């Protein structure tokens, strides 16, 4: 496989969503501010089945992050903002009939569920035996393509703590949200060294890339 | 007066000091990692009365931040890591006989104390009536020079929440400390918009400058 990475828009004070997130308000109060730079780009619109959009540096960065992704991993709450059992007629998630991933997506959950095949190449697979197993299953579906850890924050933290992530792509939005869901809550590990490999500034956002020194990277 | 600014080294996960800070361990466990990029520079060594050091981009940035500072403001804990009354023979603070400020420094405290004149131009003035009064007293000592809000985190937060700070200079060190003192704990205000005005990358640190949209700036 290629790189295992996370690609996250984050406020300057470290939040990836505002407070009071729910199924109806998945980004939390004010959280949409963190994505404004992205949703206006041609690349994002194209990925989500829309025409138009800005063709700028931000758009190139969105395209570049996505172009080699062969599989994705996300937490249950990022799929449907629920942690309960699935029920008899379960919700098919936030992502619509034709989700923007167009690759296999492995959803971490405590509750087994049959795979859910959507239009456009996205199939949700539900993994009940932890992040290492999810990564193994994702890696079995790719050749040299990348694997994106989509989120949420606790899933990305688990991958960092377990030394299973190679790269963080952070898009720092110049706002202090003051409350919400932090990307980096307290880590359950010793301090972790990174290396900033790249930086690009555009008017609305600061793009920073970090390599993570992990057990996996040292092998 | 010139600009009211804070100038802070911060981990990628938002900490400006590690856990377990004390008078003997003022930066907390692991907190010295956040300052390594700076203490090796010629500018920092010169400011602290030492010869030598690296003459690089980081050194230029340290010099530039300091060159127009006419007064400084800090919290009591940054002066001596204590919040109690001063006692009969009070500690003269962390900063030595010849502190690196060389300007008037206004220390926020609940306990009155006579001004403390040190060598080299630093006089500590103890202010018991809040941040606005400290800023007024600092501004009365300068012409068009800048005022630095040295810290700690809660003092910087108070200045941000009160709309009294113009600029944040953040030096982002690529480490996840995982615990300690956050620069941005929960803000007691609505979200605050900033504008990133400048960015400089050096191998060990990412320097970012932000203008803060404040009540003071709108006047």
Tens digit of each residue's pLDDT (9 = 90 or more) over B139-152 = 999 999 999 999 99
Residue A83 Cα, gap to closest chain B Cα (Å): 26
* Model pLDDT for residues B63-115, shown as the tens digit of each residue: 999 999 999 999 999 999 888 999 999 999 989 999 999 999 999 999 999 99
Residue A6 Cα, gap to closest chain B Cα (Å): 15
Q: Is residue B103 part of a domain?
A: yes
Q: Check whether the bond before A122 is cis (ω within 30° of 0).
A: no
Residue A217 has pLDDT above 70, yes or no: no
Q: Is residue A67 part of a domain?
A: yes
Q: Answer whether B64 touches A (CB < 8 Å).
A: no
Q: Is residue B192 part of a domain?
A: yes
The kind and range of the H/E element at B127 are: strand B123-127
B218 against B16, higher pLDDT: B16
Q: Is residue B110 part of a domain?
A: yes
* Model pLDDT for residues B189-206, shown as the tens digit of each residue: 889 999 999 999 998 999
Give me the residue label for tokens 């404040």: B214
Q: What is the 3-state secondary structure (H, E, C) of A23-85?
A: CCCCCCCCHHHHCHHHHCEHHHHHHCCCCCCECCHHHHHHHHHHHCEEEEEEEHHHHHCCCCC
What is the per-residue pLDDT for A196? 97
- Average pLDDT rounded to a whole number, residues A59-88: 95
Q: Check whether the bond before B152 is cis (ω within 30° of 0).
A: yes
Q: Which of B174, B177, B213 to probe the A interface (max A CBs under 10 A)?
A: B174
What is the per-residue pLDDT for B23? 86
Q: Answer whether B39 touches A (CB < 8 Å).
A: no
CB contact under 8 A, B191 and A30: yes
Q: What is the CATH number of the domain that holds B112?
A: 3.40.430.10
**Using a CB cutoff of 8 Å and minimum separation of 24, what contacts does B132-137 make?**
B132/B162, B132/B164, B134/B73, B134/B106, B134/B108, B135/B4, B135/B73, B135/B159, B135/B164, B137/B106
Q: Supply the range of the domain harboring residue B125.
A: 4-15+29-82+98-218
CB contact under 8 A, A191 and B210: no
Q: Answer whether A179 touches B (CB < 8 Å).
A: yes
CB contact under 8 A, A208 and B206: yes
Q: Give the number of A-B residue pairs with CB atoms closer than 8 Å.
A: 94
How would residue A219 be classed by pLDDT, with cut points 50, 70 and 90? Answer: very low
Q: Which residues on chain B are in Cβ contact (under 8 Å) with A196?
A: 172, 174, 201, 206
Classify each residue of B75-98 as buried b or exposed e, where b means 16 or more C-beta atoms within 10 Å of its C-beta. Answer: bbbbbbbbeeebeeeeeebebeee
Residue B210 Cα, gap to closest chain A Cα (Å): 8
- As for the ipTM of the complex, it is 0.94
CB contact under 8 A, A12 and B179: no
Q: Which of A11, A12, A162, A179 to probe the B interface (max B CBs under 10 A)?
A: A12
What is the per-residue pLDDT for B187? 87
Residue B218 has pLDDT above 70, yes or no: no
What is the per-residue pLDDT for B219? 44
**Secondary structure class of A208 (helix, strand, coil):** strand
Q: Which residues on chain B are in Cβ contact (under 8 Å) with A175?
A: 191-194
Contact call for residues A164 and A21 (beta carbons, < 8 A): no
Contact call for residues A209 and A168 (beta carbons, < 8 A): yes
The total of structural domains in chain B comes to 1
Q: Which residues on chain B are in Cβ contact (under 8 Å) with A12?
A: 170, 184, 194, 210
* Model pLDDT for residues A3-48, shown as the tens digit of each residue: 999 999 999 999 999 999 988 898 999 999 999 999 999 999 999 9
What is the per-residue pLDDT for B216? 55
Output phi, psi for B81, to 5 deg.
Answer: 50, 45
What is the β-pairing status of strands B181-182 and A116-117? unpaired
Q: Which of residues 180-209 of A touch B (CB under 8 A)?
A: 182-184, 186-196, 199, 201, 206, 208
Quote the tokens at residue B148. Answer: 């630095």
Torsion of CA B59, B65, B70, B74, to 10 degrees: -100
* Nearest residue of chain B to residue A31 (CA atoms): B191
Q: Is residue B90 part of a domain?
A: no
Which residue among B14, B160, B199 sits closest to A14, beta carbon to beta carbon? B14
Rg (chain B; Cα; Å): 17
Q: Is residue A102 part of a domain?
A: yes
**Secondary structure class of B88 (helix, strand, coil):** coil
Residues A97 and A119: their CA atoms lie apart, in Å, by 6
Q: Is residue A87 part of a domain?
A: no
CB contact under 8 A, A13 and B12: no
Angle of helix B153-161 relative to helix B131-140, nearest 10 degrees, comes to 90
Give me the residue label for tokens 């590690």: B18
Contact call for residues A187 and A26 (beta carbons, < 8 A): no
Output phi, psi for B40, to 5 deg.
Answer: -85, -5
CB contact under 8 A, A191 and B206: no
Write the burial class of residue A23 (CB in 10 Å: 0-12 exposed, 13-18 middle, 19+ buried). Answer: exposed
Which residue among B160, B176, B194 sits closest to A194, beta carbon to beta carbon? B176
- Average pLDDT rounded to a whole number, residues A58-63: 97
Residues A63 and A171: their CA atoms lie apart, in Å, by 14
Start-to-end CA span in chain B (Å):
14
CB contact under 8 A, A175 and B193: yes
Alpha helices in chain A (DSSP H): 36-39, 42-47, 57-67, 76-80, 131-140, 153-161, 215-218
Q: Is residue B89 part of a domain?
A: no
Residues B151 and B157: their CA atoms lie apart, in Å, by 9
Closest among A123, A26, A155 to A80, alpha carbons compared = A26
How would residue A214 be classed by pLDDT, with cut points 50, 70 and 90? Answer: low
């Amino acid at each position: 496989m290629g790189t295992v990475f996370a690609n996250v828009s984050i406020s300057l004070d470290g939040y990836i969503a505002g407070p009071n997130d729910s199924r109806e308000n998945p980004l939390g109060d004010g959280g949409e501010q963190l994505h404004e730079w992205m949703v206006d780009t041609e690349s994002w619109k194209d990925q989500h089945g829309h025409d138009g959009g800005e063709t700028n540096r931000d758009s190139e960065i969105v395209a570049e992050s996505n172009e080699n992704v062969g599989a994705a991993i996300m937490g249950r709450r990022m799929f449907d903002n629920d942690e309960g059992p699935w029920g008899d007629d379960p919700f098919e998630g936030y992502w619509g009939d034709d989700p923007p991933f167009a690759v296999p997506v492995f959803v971490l959950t405590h509750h087994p569920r049959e795979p859910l095949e959507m239009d456009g190449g996205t199939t949700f697979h539900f993994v009940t035996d932890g992040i290492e197993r999810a990564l193994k299953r994702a890696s079995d579906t790719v050749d040299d393509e990348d694997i994106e850890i989509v989120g949420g924050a606790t899933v990305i933290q688990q991958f960092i703590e377990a030394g299973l992530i190679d790269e963080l792509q952070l898009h720092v939005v110049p706002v202090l949200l003051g409350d919400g869901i932090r990307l980096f809550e307290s880590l359950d590990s010793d301090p972790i060294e990174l290396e900033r490999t790249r930086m690009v500034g555009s008017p609305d956002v600061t793009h920073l890339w970090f390599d993570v020194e992990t057990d996996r990277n040292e092998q």
